Amino acid sequence: MKKRMRRLFLQAMEGDSRAFCKLGILFIRGKAGQRDVKLGRLFLRKAVELGNEEAYFLYHRLFSRKKKVIDDLSYEEMFREYQTAKTWKKRRRLLKYLRLGTKAQKRNRILKALRNGVRYPEPSESPSFGKKDGL
């Protein structure tokens, strides 16, 4: 563990955002010897500043509860893009952002969609993007 920590610290000092993210996770979970949430938060914030998308989601899921991370207009635009997305890869990426919305944003999104007659797929339904029937 000490070897791994040393390597992560060296990579982080070189500006590696993934190393900052991993250090943040280790300190938050207490796997770095002791649990230090403040230091873990600092590492995650640095990873976000360096552009690590995974750290962005993790940071906001852990430390931005009940706070508006995404403004309403952007949230609605992302939702419209999610509805019209052709691939599951794009939908999965947008869904991560949509989950960061507040309860009010999620409620408004669903109400607007119901007013417009949008049908939500059931979780058990499998997507058939680009697949031919019978294969």
d(CA 11, CA 83): 39
Instruction: Give me the mean pLDDT over the 7-17 stretch.
Output: 91
pLDDT digits (tens, 9 = 90+) for 36-92: 889 999 999 999 999 988 898 888 888 887 778 888 888 888 888 888 888 889 888
Contact assessment for residue 58 and residue 25, using Cβ atoms and an 8 Å cutoff: yes
Least confident of 19-23, 76-80, 90-94, 123-127: 123-127
- Is residue 97 over pLDDT 70? yes
| pLDDT over 90, % of the chain | 19
23's CB contacts (< 8 A; 6+ apart) are 5, 8, 9, 12, 32, 40, 43
Q: What's the pLDDT score for residue 117?
A: 65
- The Cβ-side half-sphere exposure at 126, using a 13 Å CA radius, reads 4
Q: What's the pLDDT score for residue 1?
A: 63
- Is residue 20 over pLDDT 50? yes
Least confident of 13-22, 61-70, 107-116: 107-116
- Burial zone of 113 (CB within 10 Å; 0-12 exposed, 13-18 middle, 19+ buried): middle
- Is residue 124 over pLDDT 90? no
Q: What's the pLDDT score for residue 72?
A: 84
Of 29, 15, 82, nearest in space to 58 by CA: 29
